[in-house]
Amino acid sequence: TEPQFVFLSATIANARHLAEVLSGAEFEIVEDCGAPRAPQHFFFVNPVETTATTLAASLMVQAMERGLKTIVFTQSRHITEVIHLRILQNYPKLGNLVSAYRAGYLPEERRYIERQLMSGAIKGVISTSALEMGIDIGGLDVCILVGYPGTVINTWQRSGRVGRGGQESAIVLIAKPDALDQYIVNHPEDFFGKPYEAAIVDPYNVEIFKSHLPCAAAELPLQVEECVYEQDKYVEVRDKLAGEGRLLPGAYTDEWFSPRKYPQRQVDIRGVGEGYNIVMNPGDGAGKKKKWISIGKTDGFRAFKECHPGAVYLHRGKQYIVKSLDIKRKNIEVERKPVNYFTRVLSEKETEILDVLLSKPVRNFVVRLGKLKVTETITGYEKRLIRGQELLGVFPLELPPHEFETIGLWIEIDRIIQKHVEGKNLHFMGGIHAIEHAAISMFPLFALCDRNDIGGIAYPFHPQAEKSAVFIYDGYVGGVGLAVRAYEVIEDLLTKTLDLVRGCQCEIGCPSCIHSPKCGAGNKPLDKDAAILCLKMLLGEVDISDDIENGRGYEPEKVMSNEEVNMVEKKRKIAFFDIETQRLAQEVGGWENKHLMRLSVGVIYDSAEDEYLVFFEDQVADLIKKLKEYDLVVGFNIKNFDYAVLQPYTASSLKQIPTFDILEYIHNKFGFRVSLDLLAKYTLEDSKMADGIMAVKWFRNGEMEMVVEYCKKDVDITRRLFEFGQENGYLVVKQRPSEIVQKLMVNWDFDRIFSKLKK
């Protein structure tokens, strides 16, 4: 059979692309809307003397008292329950007319609430995104949004629940003291003028793929030729499932079957990981046999965060205390107990880089994308009064760490920036911690997600990055494409982050700019001024230059040692290589920041083809690919300078390229460094066209032909010096301060060079 697919979406930017990625088929899109629409009134409210939850409860009650059927949307299960509880406590007469609705309720509870809404028995509902779409409630007049939903799409999707009967309706967005909320209410033109976001999907997320394939196999046996996805990835996951006993091969056919009749019962569509049952004993306990009843469910790591021993768990306006968390049996025992406090967890995180996938220089930093292993451990929890949030105490917890592999990016922050920040007596760790919080809060401006879909951590020193780093990663096992999107828009993301933080009216940082409601460290340390200065330097708004000597031959830098390389080709293809940069060393804070100088042009002389190859910055991937094709790349200060400039453009290590560095050879053998120009003058009776400063000026003036000729000349000098040394066994130089012309005896026999490279 050839089924025909029809995909429906009310609000999405890339509907056709999403449908094609999911199905593997080609689509025609119909995007004109002819439906009538009644007037809607949209209000932005920024509470000053009350909280968003208190105001939402008050507005809901006022609307219901006026006969307006109302829905309140929140961004978390906890806030949903808090608002419901507040209404029940303060307006008990409305108890039968209002209900909460969220994931985690039992299916029969949700169906009952839906029937009550449809019949009109319930006049108001407080919900998470669970009622955003898919269920026709009917007859709603007012939509109250507690906090910006995170995206334009979600905002209009939720707003679209009201006024569907042709009547006028109202939407009220109540801003929370949250960075993204404050940005939206202070920049309404961004919201109303912003196009719908594109949905991000990764059909090859291994964990999701492994959940879906058994379900598909239970419906129809799987066949390779029917797969609409990349076959190698499909086969890899299929074989993993076979090894786990979740797929079985046919005995006489190339078909695969599910051993379970209903594998979908083991799939949690709301998260990755095993689910937990929340149970209680309704009896009074004393001498009675326990009779467990289930009151709800939760998933994966959420159980540790929201249902740890001692946690206050809210369910349909009632408070429960968690008595125990049975990790083995996946049961959470609770008891009904009204209290005047809430609980909040404290945690520690570690991030390990498993693999670097992409890398690029941006302004004054390098950003990389890669595979990460994130380990988060819940270390304890706080008790705080509901009114005023006074801290009542901190209590330790002993829970196993939660580990998962995902995709993330990291921004590498160089020592020069840290020195500038600390030189102003600002808290550097507090600054990069604040950047992490604010950047995560701003990211939903660029992708269809909310801040709970992504995580982050800031390091004053990360041992693998070997410098300070800010990590932002997908909060889902295997990643779903969010970090890839953040990598693509990182400069715009940090620009929006800077606009937010410096535009906030607070003095030292607040929930509207750098505080995070989910910070496991209790929002400590944070330094708003340090964050602003860091961001300005990262984005090039503040000069990070140092007073240093110009010139490449005398860099105050330790020369790198030779790296082990594998020579796989017997035929010797030799390249002579040099680059020029867009920026000077003092403009990026010194020679230790060569990776920020950016490529303007790279020139290769291919000895086998007897030709020059020229590459500009937009061709840097081709340049690096070409360098890897040679048996040997010869340069002058190439390891310490040229490769350092190029390294941010690639995830692979340039140290693996078989390379002979003339300056490194001289320094290792004779103990001093010498410029290319001096060697050319006394060995070849020639000289360079100009210097690196002039090359940067030519670049900035758009005189690229001059930059190319200058670079070609340096490559030519390098090639001739190498050939002279091979043929004659020495180079000539006048060494300061003696001013004596000296011969530097060299042995550059190819066999000797290649032998050393193999070791």
DSSP letter (8 states) at residue 729: S
DSSP letter (8 states) at residue 348: E
Q: What is the pLDDT of residue 289?
A: 59
What is the spatial distance between Cα 748 and Cα 301, in angstroms, rounded to a whole number? 60
Both 458 and 368 in a single domain?
yes
Tell me: pLDDT of 193 over 70.
yes
Contact criterion met (CB below 8 Å) for 718 and 660: no
Domain assignment of residue 228, yes or no: yes
Both 230 and 182 in a single domain?
no
Q: What is the pLDDT of residue 649?
A: 95
Q: Give the number of other Cβ atoms within 10 Å of residue 379's Cβ.
A: 16
Burial zone of 366 (CB within 10 Å; 0-12 exposed, 13-18 middle, 19+ buried): buried
State mean pLDDT over 534-547: 85
Q: Using 50, 70 and 90 to split pLDDT, how confident is the model at 550?
A: very low
**Range name among 300-304, 421-425, 632-636, 680-684 with the lowest pLDDT average:** 300-304
Q: What is the pLDDT of residue 4?
A: 87
**Which range has the top average pLDDT, 206-215, 306-315, 447-456, 749-758?**
306-315
Both 189 and 210 in a single domain?
no
- The dihedral built from the CA positions of residue 87, 88, 90 and 96, taken in this order, carries a sign that is positive
CATH of the domain at 708: 3.30.420.10
What is the spatial distance between Cα 576 and Cα 579, in angstroms, rounded to a whole number? 11
Both 442 and 470 in a single domain?
yes
Final residue of a structural domain among 236, 266, 296: 266
Q: What pLDDT, in 10s, does the model give residues 666-720?
A: 998 888 889 999 999 999 999 999 999 999 999 999 999 999 999 999 999 999 9
Domain assignment of residue 327, yes or no: no
Final residue of a structural domain among 249, 266, 283: 266
Q: What pLDDT, in 10s, does the model give residues 269-314?
A: 665 556 789 999 876 544 555 678 889 888 777 899 999 999 999 9
Q: What is the pLDDT of residue 120?
A: 86
Burial zone of 42 (CB within 10 Å; 0-12 exposed, 13-18 middle, 19+ buried): middle
Q: Which amino acid is at 92?
A: P
Tell me: pLDDT of 389 over 70.
yes
Q: What is the pLDDT of residue 647?
A: 95
State mean pLDDT over 33-47: 86
| Structural domains counted in the chain | 4
Burial zone of 46 (CB within 10 Å; 0-12 exposed, 13-18 middle, 19+ buried): middle
**Range name among 176-180, 252-256, 373-377, 547-551 with the lowest pLDDT average:** 547-551
State mean pLDDT over 174-202: 85
Residues listed for the chain: 759
Both 239 and 356 in a single domain?
no
**Range name among 31-40, 548-557, 695-704 with the lowest pLDDT average:** 548-557
Please give the residue that has the higher pLDDT: either 73 or 274.
73
Q: What is the pLDDT of residue 290?
A: 64
Both 118 and 246 in a single domain?
no
Chain-centroid distance, C-alpha 539: 18
State mean pLDDT over 583-607: 94
CATH of the domain at 47: 3.40.50.300
What is the spatial distance between Cα 67 and Cα 714, in angstroms, rounded to a whole number? 82
Q: What is the pLDDT of residue 671?
A: 83
Contact criterion met (CB below 8 Å) for 171 and 40: yes
Contact criterion met (CB below 8 Å) for 292 and 280: yes
Q: What is the pLDDT of residue 254?
A: 86
Both 185 and 205 in a single domain?
no
Both 593 and 677 in a single domain?
yes
Tell me: pLDDT of 549 over 60.
no
Both 517 and 588 in a single domain?
no
- The dihedral built from the CA positions of residue 718, 720, 725 and 726, taken in this order, carries a sign that is positive
State mean pLDDT over 717-743: 85
Q: Using 50, 70 and 90 to split pLDDT, how confident is the model at 561?
A: very low
Domain assignment of residue 298, yes or no: no
Tell me: pLDDT of 547 over 50.
no
Q: What is the pLDDT of residue 558?
A: 35
Contact criterion met (CB below 8 Å) for 365 and 411: yes
Both 492 and 640 in a single domain?
no
Domain assignment of residue 706, yes or no: yes
Q: Dihedral of the CA atoms 660, 661, 662, 666 (nearest 10)?
A: -110
Which tokens belong to 56? 């939402």
Element (H, E) at 616: strand 611-616
Contact criterion met (CB below 8 Å) for 245 and 259: yes
Q: What is the pLDDT of residue 435?
A: 98
Domain assignment of residue 326, yes or no: no
Domain assignment of residue 259, yes or no: yes
Tell me: pLDDT of 560 over 50.
no
Q: Give the mean pLDDT of the chain.
A: 88
Q: What pLDDT, in 10s, does the model give residues 436-470?
A: 999 999 998 888 887 888 999 999 999 999 999 99
Both 598 and 644 in a single domain?
yes
Final residue of a structural domain among 231, 250, 266: 266
Both 520 and 371 in a single domain?
yes
Q: What is the pLDDT of residue 54?
A: 93
Q: What is the pLDDT of residue 433?
A: 97
Q: What is the pLDDT of residue 387?
A: 81
Strands (E), 224-340: 248-249, 256-257, 275-280, 293-299, 312-315, 318-326, 331-336
Please give the residue that has the higher pLDDT: either 132 or 172.
172
Contact criterion met (CB below 8 Å) for 383 and 396: no
Quote the domain boundaries for residue 246. Answer: 201-266
Domain assignment of residue 311, yes or no: no
End-to-end CA distance of the chain: 60
Q: Dihedral of the CA atoms 354, 357, 360, 364 (nearest 10)?
A: -10
Domain assignment of residue 316, yes or no: no
Q: Using 50, 70 and 90 to split pLDDT, how confident is the model at 642?
A: very high
CATH of the domain at 219: 1.10.10
Tell me: pLDDT of 552 over 50.
no
